Structure 1
Amino acid sequence: MKQNKNSYGNILVISLFFLWAITANLLPVLIPHLKKACRLTVLESSFIDSAYWIAYFAVAIPAGLVMKRFGYQKAIITGLLLAATGSFLFYPAAESRSFAFFLFALFVMASGMTFLETSANPFMTILGDPSTAVRRLNFAQAFNGLGAFIASMFLSKFIIAKNIKSQQELDLLSPAAMDNYYSLLFHRVKLPYILIGMVLVLVALLFMFTRFSNNKPVRQKTDHQVRNLSDRTQLKWGIVTQFFYVGAQVCISSFFILYATSVAGITAYDATNYLGLLLLGFMLGRYFGSILMKYIRPARLLFIYGTINIFLMSFIICIGGKASIPAFIALEFFMSIMYPTIFSLAIRNLGEYTPTASSYLVMSIIGGAIFPPLLGYLSDLTGSIQLAYIVPLICFIPVVYFGWRQIHKDLNTQTNL
C-alpha cells in the first residue's frame, strides 16, 4: 500500500514537468500571434519571452524560501494556484486588447511556474537512489517534452488561425471589418488559457489531498549558506551555463515560426506543425538520453550534444531555406538533455544546501528573458532573422565548456579513488 502511495505521488510530481511545458511552449505561438494582433516589431514581440522568463529571476528566491520553510508540497501548491491565476488573467487581457496586460498575465503565470520548477526539480532528485538522480530527472523531464509537443501541435491550433490575412488584405478592409478581424485574433487566446487554468487548479487540489513520505521543510544555517555555496565551483559554472543554455533554447523555439515563414517560405499555420515535430524530437531526445546515460556519463553526453548543436546552428545560419527544418528538429533532439543534466550536475553533493542552489539555478533562467530581445534587435537591425540566430549559436559554447569541465572533474574523482 505504501509503495502504491509513493508511486501515485511520483506521478503527481512528474505531471508538473508536463504542465509547465504547456505554458512555456505556447510562447512561440503567442509571439507571432500577438505580433500580428498588437502590431508589434520583432523586438517588441520578444518582450513576450522576457515577461515570462524574467519571473524566474524575480521569484526563484522567494520560491526557495517557501520551499525551505514549508516543504516541497506547499511550495508546489502555491505555484499551481499562482500559475492558474495568471492563466485566467488572459481573458481580461484579451478583452482589453492591451499588450501590457498580456505581459502582466504571463509574468504572474510564470511566477507560479517558478515555484514548480524550483521545487519539482530537486524533489525529483531525492525520490529515489541518489546515484540515479540525473537519469531520473531526465526521465521526468521527458514529460516536459510531451507537454511541449502537445502545446505546439494541438493547443497552438486554438490560437493561430489557418487563414491569416496578409497586410495587403488588411489594407482592403473597412475600419469596422478590420476591427472585427483583430477582435477575433484576441478572442482566440481565451479558451486555451482558461482550460490551462482549470487543469492547474485541479492538480493543486490533488496535491492538497496527497501525502508524500519525503516532504519535510529543509532547514539550513542561513548565515553560512552563501559562503559555503560560493565555494562550489561546479554550482557557479552550472548557473552561468544554465543562463546561456536557456537563452539558446528560448531563442530557437520562440522565433522558429517567424524563421519558417520568412526564411523557409512556410505559412504560420503549417509552421505550428513543424514546431510540433521539433518538440516531438525534443521529447524523444529526453527518453533516448535517459537510456544513453546508463552507458555514457551525463557530462560526456552533454559535451557531445553541445558540440553537435554548434554545427547544426552554423548550418541553420549559413544555409537556411527548407533544408534548415530537419536541422531544427535535430537541434531540439540534442538540446533535450541539457537543462536537467546541467541542473543535476550543478547541485550534486550539495546536501542541505540543495534548495538554495536550486533557487539560484532557476534564477539563471533569466537568460530566456535577455537573449530573445538581443535576437529580435539583431533581426530588426539587419532585416534577417536567419542571421540573428547567431545569438543561440554563441550560447552553446558555454554548454560545451561546462560539459568538458565536468568530464575532467569525473576523471579526477576516479583517479583519487
Structure 2
Amino acid sequence: MPTAAAPAPARPRYTGAILLTVSLFFLWGMANNLNDVLIAQFRKAFTLSDFETSFVQQVFYFGYFVFAVPAAMLTSARGYKTAIVTGLVLYGCGALLFYPAAADSRYTLFLFALFVIASGLAFLETAANPLMTELGDPAGATRRLNWAQAANPVGAITGILIGRHFILSGIEHDEATLAAMTAAERLTYYGVETRAVQAPYLVIGCIVLAFAVVAACLRFPPGDPGARAAASWSGFRQVVHRPRLVFAAVAQLLYVGAQVGLWSYTIRFAQATVPGLPEHAAADALFVSLLLFATGRFIGTAAMTRVRPATLLALFAAIAFALTVFAALVGGRTGLYALVATSFFMSIQFPTIFALGVEGLGPLRRAGSSLLIMAIIGGAILTAAIGWLSDRAGIATAMLVPAAAFAVIVGFALWARRRKSDADGGDRNGLGG
C-alpha cells in the first residue's frame, strides 16, 4: 500500500510580533508630529527665529541619517527583535531626557534628547518597513505597507492632541508685553513654558520602555540567510548602483522634507497669514491636516486595488504640488485651507515610494531599505531651507520649497510607472505599475 504523504509542517505564526510592529508605526508617528508642536513651543519659550526653530528637525532627522546603516546591519546580523528592542530603548531613554532638559531650561539639551529619540526611530523604521514588505505575497507589498502605515497618522494625530492639550498653554505675549515685564517675570514665564514638556515626555518614555520589554518577550521571523552578506559594505555598494532605488531615495528625501516642512510650519503659516489667529486655533489647523492625512491613507490604499500604485503616486503628488503653490501665492485663510488639504495627498507617498524603491532587490532589500531611511535626512534639509527662506521672504513664499519637492516626486512616479510597464506589460497588481 502506498504510504500517505507526510503533512507539511505548520508555518510559525507571528501574530504578536506583527501587532507590535504595526504599533511601532503609531509610536514614531506620535514622536514625529510632537516635533511640530515643539517648534511652536520652543519658538515661544526660547524666543527663536524660524531658522533657529528648524534645529529641532535638523537634529532629529540627522539622527535617522547617522543610524540608518548601523540599524540595517544590526537587523541583518541579529534579527528583527534585536533591532526593534534597541530602537525602543533608545526612543524611551531620549523621551526621559526631556525631564532634565526642561529642568535646566537649555535648548541644546532638548536637541540632544531629540537626537537620541531619532536614533531609536532609525532602528525601528529600518526594521519595521522591510518586515511588512516581506510578510506575504511580494505583489501586494505596496498595499500591505500602506495598510500598516495607516497606524502612523493615528499616532501623528495623538501627538498633536498631546501637544495641544498638555504642552501648548495658549498664553502668548507680544514683544511689547514681554518688554514691559520685569526680568523675574520673564524668567518665570519662560520657565513655565519650558517645563510644560516634562510630564508628557516622561509618560511617553515609560510607555515606550514597556513596549521594549514586551518586544523582548515575543518571537519574530528569522532573518534571511542571505541578508547578512547583503547588508555588508559590499551590499551597500551594490544598491547604490540600482537606478530605481537611487531615484526613489531622492524622491523620499524630498517627500520627507516636504511633509516635515509643511507640518513644522503649519502653525507658523496660520498665525502669520491669518491675523489674530490664536495659538490653539492654529494647532487645530495642524490637527485637521493629520485627519486628512489619515483619511487619505485609507482611501488611497483602497484605491490601489484598482489603480496602479505609481499612477496614484503621480496623481497625488501633482495635486499636492498645485495646492502648495496656491497656498504660497494666495496666503490667508484660503491659502491655509489649501495647505491643510495638501496632507490628504501626501498620505500614500512615503510607503509607496519606499515599496517602489526596494522592489526586486531580493536579499539586498534591507540594504536598500537603509538607504531609503537615510533619505529621511530630507526632513532636516528642507525644513532648514523653509525656515531660512521664511526669515527672508515670509512663510507663505517659503511654501514654494515643498512645492518643488512634489514636482520631482511626480517625475519619479511617472518614471517608475514606465519602467514597470516595460518590465511586465503593466500588471495592475504589481508594485510599481
Identify the TM-score tier after normalising by the shorter chain: over 0.9
Shift of 1:153: 2.7
Alignment of 1:119-268 (within 5 A): 119-215=127-223, 218-221=227-230, 222=232, 224-265=234-275, 266-268=277-279
Amino acid at match of 1:89: L
Residue of structure 2 equivalent to 1:55: 63
Q: Is the 8 A contact 1:70 1:216 kept in 2?
A: no
Shift of 1:264: 2.0
Residue of structure 2 equivalent to 1:292: 303
Amino acid at match of 1:296: V
Does structure 1 residue 366 correspond to structure 2 residue 374? no
Q: Is the 8 A contact 1:244 1:367 kept in 2?
A: yes
Does structure 1 residue 342 correspond to structure 2 residue 353? yes
Task: Classify 1:70/1:291 alpha carbon distance in 2 versus 1 (closer, same or farther; 3 Å).
Answer: same
- Residue by residue over 1:348-402, the C-alpha shift from the partner in whole angstroms, topping out at 9 and shown as x without a partner, is 11111111111111101111111111111111122x1111111111111210001
Residue of structure 1 equivalent to 2:3: none
Larger Rg over CA atoms = 2
Amino acid at match of 1:311: A
Paired residue total: 415
Shift of 1:158: 1.0
Task: Measure, in 1, the Cα distance between the counterparts of 2:233 and 2:106.
Answer: 45
Task: Classify 1:122/1:178 alpha carbon distance in 2 versus 1 (closer, same or farther; 3 Å).
Answer: same
Task: Measure, in 1, the Cα distance between the counterparts of 2:329 and 2:413.
Answer: 26
Residue of structure 1 equivalent to 2:44: 36
Shift of 1:414: 2.8
Task: Measure, in 1, the Cα distance between the counterparts of 2:383 and 2:221.
Answer: 41
Residue of structure 1 equivalent to 2:431: none
Task: Measure, in 1, the Cα distance between the counterparts of 2:426 and 2:351.
Answer: 27
Task: Measure, in 2, the Cα distance between the counterparts of 1:33 and 1:307.
Answer: 33
TM-score (norm 2): 0.92
Task: Measure, in 2, the Cα distance between the counterparts of 1:259 and 1:145.
Answer: 21
Residue of structure 1 equivalent to 2:430: none
Structure 1 stretch displaced more, 207-216 or 394-403: 207-216
Shift of 1:132: 0.8
Taking every aligned residue pair, what percent have the same amino acid on both sides?
Answer: 38
Where do 4+ consecutive residues of structure 1 move more than 4 Å?
2-5, 214-217
Shift of 1:333: 0.5
Task: Measure, in 1, the Cα distance between the counterparts of 2:318 and 2:233.
Answer: 40
Alignment of 1:256-405 (within 5 A): 256-265=266-275, 266-382=277-393, 384-405=394-415
Residue of structure 1 equivalent to 2:26: 18
Q: Is the 8 A contact 1:77 1:208 kept in 2?
A: yes
TM-score (norm 1): 0.96
Task: Measure, in 2, the Cα distance between the counterparts of 1:253 and 1:16.
Answer: 21
Amino acid at match of 1:212: F
- Residue by residue over 1:9-33, the C-alpha shift from the partner in whole angstroms, topping out at 9 and shown as x without a partner, is 2111000000001110011111111
Task: Measure, in 1, the Cα distance between the counterparts of 2:177 and 2:27.
Answer: 38
Task: Classify 1:214/1:126 alpha carbon distance in 2 versus 1 (closer, same or farther; 3 Å).
Answer: farther
Q: Is the 8 A contact 2:72 2:126 kept in 1?
A: yes
Alignment partner for residue 99 of structure 2, among 86, 91, 104?
91
